Amino acid sequence: MAREGHIDLLQLAEHCGCGAKYPAADLRDLLRGFARADDPRLLVGPETFDDGAVYRLRDDCLIVQTVDFFPPVASQPEVYGRIAAANALSDIYAMGGRPVTAMALLCLPAKRIPLPTARAILAGAFEKITEAGAALVGGHTLTDEQLKFGLSVTGTVEPGQILSNAACQPGDVLVLTKPLGTGLTITAAKAGMAAESSVQQANRFMSALNAQAAAAALASLARAATDITGFGFLGHSWQMAKASRARMRFRAEAAALIDGALEYASLGLVPAGAYANRRFLEGRVSFSADVSVACQDVLFDPQTSGGLLVCLPPDNVSGFQAALSGQVDCCASVIGRVEAGDREPRLTVER
């Protein structure tokens, strides 16, 4: 629910959070034919749909750049600002980097959103930027019919510590660091059918930075990582498999879930983005007969500020899990393995 004196932002959004992401199939068509920049200093570009670009300024200085913004994902403006900031900062962490500066992007329907509400969104974002040790250095504001907010973030990454999505090897273990089901929970909340405890749990995880998970991944010599957002768990896993020319096998029951997420899926409270993600992956993912449709919907569910999917050598998994044990805002669910692949990656999901 919205705080007294503020409107319920969630009810303003047609598509919420990363559920507003442009469909993956259409995005690939949109970008087809655009060549990678002919610059040897560009170490990670757009061709693998990674979380951020990595550019070498000097031999000892690599920068990571990303941008992310979206419509409201929570009823309260401060919570929306925190989640939007954590989501944008996550791309830097997913690349193995450290956020340095951030610029705010705000599209504001000024006649519908009072100034105190807009300031509360910025205050929530500033809180997370400060927690990340980064500096808010400016931004850009537009008058628009639809409220949208997010950040452009620049970070740094140490040479040799880039966590791209393209380095998985057969036999590696895949570990997920936040529960799934935020899109389903948001959809249920917008319909007035979500338990308040479920909404609070989703908001807590979406507001959490992926800094600890990224630090643990680097310390555990992870081979690759990506963050799970609008293309859903399976969509981002497929991008990682494709970039790595590998196949992946998952156990659906191994995934941690937001409380109530499976029930919301069973009730049909499924965001439109989940159906788009399912269509994109048709013929690219196979499910065993005992994986229910509701469980499939959870795996296709567009996440906002989701966790990292970390690819680790088998011997390093226990150390990674130990590093995250006791943390209240992340988990370390062993959810799958990498298998030898070919030119066309495939995902297999077992119960």
For the chain, the distance separating the N- and C-terminal CA atoms, rounded to the nearest angstrom, is 35
Contacts 24+ apart (CB under 8 A), 286-292: 286/346, 286/347, 286/348, 286/349, 287/349, 288/348, 288/349, 288/350, 288/351, 290/350, 290/351, 291/252, 291/349, 291/350, 291/351
Residue ranges in the chain assigned as alpha helix (H)? 24-31, 77-94, 115-131, 182-190, 196-207, 211-219, 232-244, 261-266, 272-280, 293-300, 317-324
Which residue, 175, 261, 168, is CA-closest to 210? 175
What is the three-class DSSP state of 23?
coil
Give the C-alpha separation, 17 to 148, whole Å.
Answer: 9
Query: Strand 148-157 vs strand 98-108: parallel, antiparallel, or unpaired?
Result: antiparallel
Other Cβ atoms closer than 10 A to 234: 26
Q: Which of 134, 148, 66 is nearest to 105 (CA)?
A: 148
Displacement of CA 301 from its chain's centroid (Å): 11
Burial of 126 (0-12, 13-18, 19+ CB in 10 A): middle
Catalytic residues: 18
Q: Check: CB of residue 122 under 8 Å from CB of residue 132.
A: no
156 token code pair: 């740094």
Strand order in the sheet with 148-157: 42-44, 53-58, 61-70, 148-157, 98-108, 135-143
